[in-house]
Amino acid sequence: MSKLGIAIVGTGMIGAVHRRAALLAGAVIRGVGASSPERAKEVAQSWDVPRAYRDIEEVVADPQVQVVHVCTPNHLHRPMAQAALQAGKHVVCEKPLATTLEDATALASLAASTGLVATVPFVYRYHPVVREARARIAQGELGPLRLIHGSYLQDWLLDPASNNWRVDPALGGASRVFADIGSHWCDLVEWVGGERFVDVSAVFETVIAERGATAGQSFTTPAAGGAMQAVSSEDVAAAMFKTASGTLASLTVSQVSAGRKNRLWFEIDGARASVAFDQEDCERLWIGLPDQREEVFVRGPGAGSAEQRRLSVFPAGHAQGYGNCFEAFVADTYRAIAAERPEGLPTFDDGLRSALIVDRVIASAKSRAWTPIG
């Protein structure tokens, strides 16, 4: 089978992550699109790819491209993913799938009508011990679920001098911290626990009222001094959910928690056992048991569920992490294009589910009332 030809649109931090994963999965990068033709030429030269596209129209017109990776700011996701699908290209679109529920619905419907592969990188599903947790819950080892709780904490916007396109609702959408990282937690916990949220009560707070007027690269050190501007998007958020079976779930999210770089943590407590996962210590799954006992399952290809073994590409003790998750996600996307059916591959339907949750969380934060999710 000939190698897939791909185009990457968006050349920031996450575009480089897509590039590495695509190359490791055996694809050929035919060209790149960026914020300007000049930037596209610069990156094409740096990445040693043959084409620098002027715009999305030039991307989707390239007959050598079968897959378009959309890695742009959020407000461009719908028009770019839509153009690719309408041109018959498979799509990998960064999350959130769109900045509104209406746009996410339209994209999911279009993807379904075309029959093309369209995926969203909820890549934390690809931690091997996350697959182990899901398998144990599905097999009934935890018993009926009693409580779900956790947080997703970062600190990259702690300094008021820090700014980024995500802070601007016109570019990032009506929600910042919840849509950006709370969405990952919700997708992961619903998928691992097997229970969907049906109601939410949420609150948002903007704790840094003004930020530096100059936007910087994501996760970089801000420049000192300069003008300041008002901020309207939330820095922190809290949400209480209830699942269809009545299980309560609580979530705290923040981009201003000092020392927390990317701490996605959840615990799922059942009648017979509990499991807990920390993305910053992702080689281990904590398991709580009755009679004051606890265990730690260590990632590796020699034990555990079939999916845990499949995704453990290195021996135990040789750490895997976020990059390996992304590589596995992209490889599974390409397998789906080759008519395989990888387990747990997040699609535009999952992106739509996430958009629905975010929309209802925003509504609840505005009304300060319990709000149905549906």
If asked whether residues 138 and 243 sit together in one domain, one would say yes
Token pair listed for 273? 């056992």
* 3 state DSSP class of 14: helix
Evaluate whether residue 264 is within a structural domain.
yes
* The predicted structure's pLDDT at residue 226: 73
Q: Residue 328 falls within a domain, yes or no?
A: no
3-state secondary structure of 97: coil
47 and 130 housed in the same domain: no
Residue where one domain finishes, among candidates 67, 99, 119? 119
The confidence score (pLDDT) of residue 225 equals 61
Dihedrals φ, ψ of 365, to 5°? -65, -35
Of 353, 370, 352, the C-alpha closest to 361 is: 370
Inside any domain, residue 79 = yes
Tell me: cis bond preceding 96? Omega within 30 of 0 counts: yes
**Residue 186's domain is classified under what CATH number?**
3.30.360.10
Q: Is residue 340 part of a domain?
A: no
φ and ψ of 368, to 5 deg = 55, 40
> Is the four-CA dihedral 9, 12, 18, 24 of positive or negative sign?
positive
Establish if 193 belongs to a structural domain.
yes
Tell me which residue range forms the domain holding 185: 125-316+348-372
Last residue of a domain, one of 85, 119, 153: 119
Asked if residue 332 belongs to a domain, the reply is no
Domain shared by 113 and 130, yes or no:
no
| Same domain? 136 vs 75 | no
CA distance 102 to 92: 19
> Are 15 and 160 members of one domain?
no
pTM: 0.94
CA distances 185 to 111, 148, 192, 278, 285, Å, are 24, 11, 10, 11, 16
Tens-level pLDDT at each residue, the chain (374 residues): 579 999 999 999 999 999 999 999 999 999 999 999 999 999 999 999 999 999 999 999 999 999 999 999 999 999 999 999 999 999 999 999 999 999 999 999 999 999 999 999 999 999 999 999 999 999 999 999 999 999 999 999 999 998 988 899 889 999 999 999 999 999 999 999 999 999 999 999 999 999 998 876 665 666 556 789 899 999 999 999 999 999 999 999 999 999 999 999 999 999 999 999 999 999 999 999 999 999 999 999 999 999 999 999 999 999 999 999 999 999 999 999 999 999 999 999 999 999 999 999 999 999 999 999 98
The count of domains in the chain is: 2
Query: End of a domain among 119, 140, 157?
Result: 119
The tokens for 213 are 């007027």
- Tell me which amino acid residue 59 is: V
The percent of residues in the chain predicted with pLDDT above 70, rounded, is: 97
Q: What is the CATH number of the domain that holds 33?
A: 3.40.50.720
